[in-house]
Amino acid sequence: ITERIDYENELRQLAFGERAEGVAEGKADIDWALRRGELFLVYQPKVSLHDGRTIGTEALMRWRHPQRGLISPNEFIPEAERRGAIEEMTYWAIEKAVTDMKPVLQDMPHFYTAVNLSAQMFNDPGLVAKILCILQRVNFPPDRLVLEITETGIMNNLALCREMLQELMNHGVRIAMDDFGKGYSSLDSLRQLPVAILKIDKNFVDRLEDEKDLIIVKAVIRLAKELNIKVLAEGIETKKQWQQLAALQCDYGQGYYFGKPHATISL
Ligand code: C2E
Ligand code: CA
Ligand code: CA
Ligand code: CA
């Protein structure tokens, strides 16, 4: 209730304040969303496919816009990336995610939380230092944080990204390759980047009935195992998909079948 009152108070101030102009512009809104307190995180469980037990969460961003309602990250993240707002939002997300996860760690010492990292973040030379600084401030063990990256954008700037990711890894932070199988250079990025977890794209999970897709998924899981990389299948919506993937020795899973993104961390 307190939150609600503050929120509305803030909006009233906005209507009369200098920032009202930015709101009227619509798109520029994302520059102010964080400071207006309109962004929040939801958490989706990650499970072990062997026994269905939760092993961690992924933090996903949401924007509750005062006029437009709830906006999907597919819509506002690209906009935030174009406008350069993504940096501040990401550091906020990392700090919020590890702060929310911290009390859980006492009972679940092996849990981890994952946060998505846009390729744009690597333009900031202070990226590694800032992330380590957040972890230190919150007193959060770095090996309980996973950063999910996609190869899009990263491969243009490979040497630099590799160096930064390596440094994070040296401090215990793990890297997950998101949406694996979607791009062209997947295999090259596996070879070149210090990846600990590979997330098989939902498109493959949707088409396990298809013989070719099944063969590809099998091969990816085997490849990952030989490279000593854990595999997580995303977008699992049915028990059948779970059983199929578990039979293929896929380590972890995520999807509506196990739990939708939720405002609190579910154990
Ligand atoms: P992603 O990282 O690939 O996240 C997975 C998306 O699939 C999420 O959508 C999630 O809610 C959805 N999902 C999970 N399980 C299922 C399922 O069983 N069925 C279906 N149909 N969907 C499922 P969401 O939350 O809308 O996020 C979309 C994308 O926005 C994310 O894709 C990610 O690329 C981006 N994103 C979200 N939060 C952040 C963030 O904090 N930072 C950055 N840079 N990107 C973010
Ligand atoms: Ca992700
Ligand atoms: Ca994904
Ligand atoms: Ca995606």
DSSP string, 176-208: EEEEETSSS-HHHHHHHS--SEEEE-HHHHHTT
Q: How far is the CA of 231 from the centre of ligand 2 (A)?
A: 13
- The DSSP call for residue 53 is -
Ligand nearest to C-alpha 149: 2
- Decide: helix, strand or coil at residue 75: helix
The pLDDT of residue 188: 84
Phi/psi for 200 (5° steps) reads -75, 125
**Ligand 4 geometric centre to CA of 45 (Å):** 16
Measured between alpha carbons, how far is residue 135 from residues 31, 98, 141, 153 in Å?
A: 25, 8, 7, 26
**Tokens 């406008």, located at residue:** 83
Mutate-to-test residue for ligand 1 from 30, 43, 57, 77, highest number of ligand atoms within 8 A of CB: 77
* 14 close to 21: Cβ distance less than 8 angstroms: no
pLDDT at 266: 79
pLDDT of residue 49: 98
Beta strands in the chain (DSSP E): 39-48, 54-65, 69-71, 112-116, 145-149, 174-180, 197-200, 230-233, 252-253
Digitized pLDDT (tens) for each residue of the chain, 267 residues in all: 444 444 444 444 444 444 444 444 555 689 899 999 999 999 999 999 999 999 999 999 999 999 999 999 999 999 999 999 999 999 999 999 999 999 999 999 899 999 999 999 999 999 999 999 999 999 999 999 999 999 887 888 889 999 999 999 999 999 999 999 887 667 888 889 999 999 999 999 999 999 999 999 999 999 999 999 999 999 999 999 999 999 999 999 999 999 999 998 877
Instruction: Tell me the CA–centroid distance for residue 198 and ligand 4, in Å.
Output: 13
Residues with CB under 6 A from ligand 1: 44, 60-61, 72-74, 77, 90, 93, 116, 118, 148, 178-179, 235-237, 254-256, 261
- Say which residues have a Cβ less than 8 Å from residue 172's Cβ, sequence separation at least 6: 141, 142, 143
Ligand 1, residue 201: give the atom nearest the CA.
3
pTM: 0.90
Nearest atom, ligand 1, residue 118 CA:
44
CB 91 within 8 A of CB 127: no
How close is the Cα of 60 to the center of ligand 1, in Å? Answer: 6
| Nearest ligand (C-alpha, residue 199) | 3
User: Which of 238, 244, 148, 227 has the alpha carbon at shortest distance from 191?
Assistant: 227
Q: 147 and 117 in contact (C-beta within 8 Å)?
A: yes
Distance CA 47, CA 57 (A): 9
